Amino acid sequence: MFGLFKKFKSGLAKTVSSISQTTRGLFSGRKIDASSLEELEEALYTADFGVETTEEILAEIKKAYRKDPDLKGQAAAEIGAAVLERTLAGSEGSLTPAENLPTVVALIGVNGSGKTTTSAKLGYLLKNDGQSVMLAACDTFRAAAVEQLKSWATRLDLPIVASHTGADAAAVAFDAWQAAKTRGCQTLLVDTAGRLHTKSNLMDELAKIRRVLQKHDETAPHHSWLVVDGSLGTNSIEQAKVFHEKFGLTGLVVTKLDGTSRGGAIVGIWRELKIPIYFLGLGEQPDDLQPFNARNYARAVFGLEA
Ligand SMILES: Nc1nc2c(ncn2[C@@H]2O[C@H](COP(=O)(O)OP(=O)(O)OP(=O)(O)O)[C@@H](O)[C@H]2O)c(=O)[nH]1
């Protein structure tokens, strides 16, 4: 548990340090005053927490400050974290197994959002959790994507079904399901090509992957997750909205949070879309994909201990 929290804290370090730099050590013992509240407001906006969340956090801290003019930064941080945790109630996705195995998880999203890397990291995480996993290299569009996933599979010792660049992605998905079934795998992770929602041929391809999987199991894919680049900040909300309208997303994976100070956007995504967040990408190493935990996130953001 402590190890997981440490991962959150280091993965969100840029967001955390952007907040703590703007607030000039507010959370390390300073007393609250009007100017530190202003600094905090600015810091929360900069980290992309958005208007509603920022105002709620400030309102609660101000309320406590009115009651106790000696209120310290540490106590204010506790209040802020509690508001975040409350706002994020219900946002944690849990990868429950489907009735018919394998549980099929399709990872979709725009180019470069981190789908291939996430497929590999997720396979590794599930494997370390004692589950059997199969990867399906259905990004047959981007040159080198198949090779990229294959090399991850070799490195992490994960079974994979892959064809070549330009192959029919739906055919790969079909074969991968069969292979996963034959090997008794619990989970099939389907990496797909990056696509903008405006590219109708690629959108049709996703629909085809679904149709073909449903020939094996009419309830598949059981999960359709959007892999979204967390460094887009609040812009990721718009992207998720469009994909949700087209595909009925069942979950989100937010990547690259280690490289951004805009890690507050997660809260806005949840507020706006109410699509559960399953995993966060907090770095480039295989174990840098972490199950989303609202409490760890909220406390890490305010520089608090677990
Ligand atoms: N720092 C950091 N980098 C990440 C994370 N997730 C993915 N990346 C990097 O982002 C880049 C793009 O990742 P890919 O997995 O290739 O993205 P993709 O969505 O499969 O790309 P397309 O196939 O072009 O759509 C790679 O360099 C990854 O290493 C993360 O959580 N943190």
Q: Is 258 in the pocket of ligand 1 (CB under 6 A)?
A: yes
Give yes or no for residue 10 CB within 6 A of ligand 1: no
CB 139 near ligand 1, within 6 Å: yes
ipTM score for this prediction: 0.95
Burial of 265: CB neighbours in 10 Å, binned 0-12, 13-18, 19+ = buried
Q: Is 48 annotated as a binding residue?
A: no
21 CA → ligand 1 middle, Å? 28
- Rounded to the nearest angstrom, the distance between the alpha carbon of 195 and the centre of ligand 1 is 14
Q: Residue 242, Cα to own-chain centre: how many angstroms? A: 17
Where helices occur in the chain by DSSP H, the ranges are 2-11, 13-22, 34-46, 50-67, 73-87, 115-128, 145-156, 169-182, 200-216, 235-247, 265-273, 294-301
Ligand 1 pocket member 116 (CB < 6 A): yes
User: Hey, what are 252's tokens?
Assistant: 């989100």
pLDDT level of residue 170 (50, 70, 90 thresholds): very high
Known binding residue 109? Answer is yes
- Cα 280 from Cα 293, distance rounded (Å): 9
Nearest protein Cα to ligand 1, atom 8:
114
Range in 117-126, 161-170, 229-238 with the lowest mean pLDDT: 229-238
- Name the more confident of 123 and 242: 123
Lowest average pLDDT, out of 7-21, 142-156, 235-249, goes to 7-21
Q: Residues of the chain with pLDDT > 90: what percent?
A: 69
pLDDT in tens, 292-304: 999 999 999 888 8
Question: What token pair was written down for 120?
Answer: 């590999």
Q: What are phi and psi of 92, to 5 degrees?
A: -85, 115
Is 111 close to ligand 1, i.e. is its CB under 6 Å away? Answer: yes
pLDDT digits (tens, 9 = 90+) for 14-59: 888 777 766 666 676 778 888 888 989 999 999 999 999 999 999 9
Q: Please check if 33 is assigned to a binding site.
A: no
Question: Is 142 near ligand 1, meaning CB less than 6 Å away?
Answer: yes
pLDDT at 188: 98
Query: Does 231 contact ligand 1 (Cβ within 6 A)?
Result: no
Question: Residue whose CA is closest, atom 30 of ligand 1?
Answer: 256
Please give the pLDDT value at position 23.
65
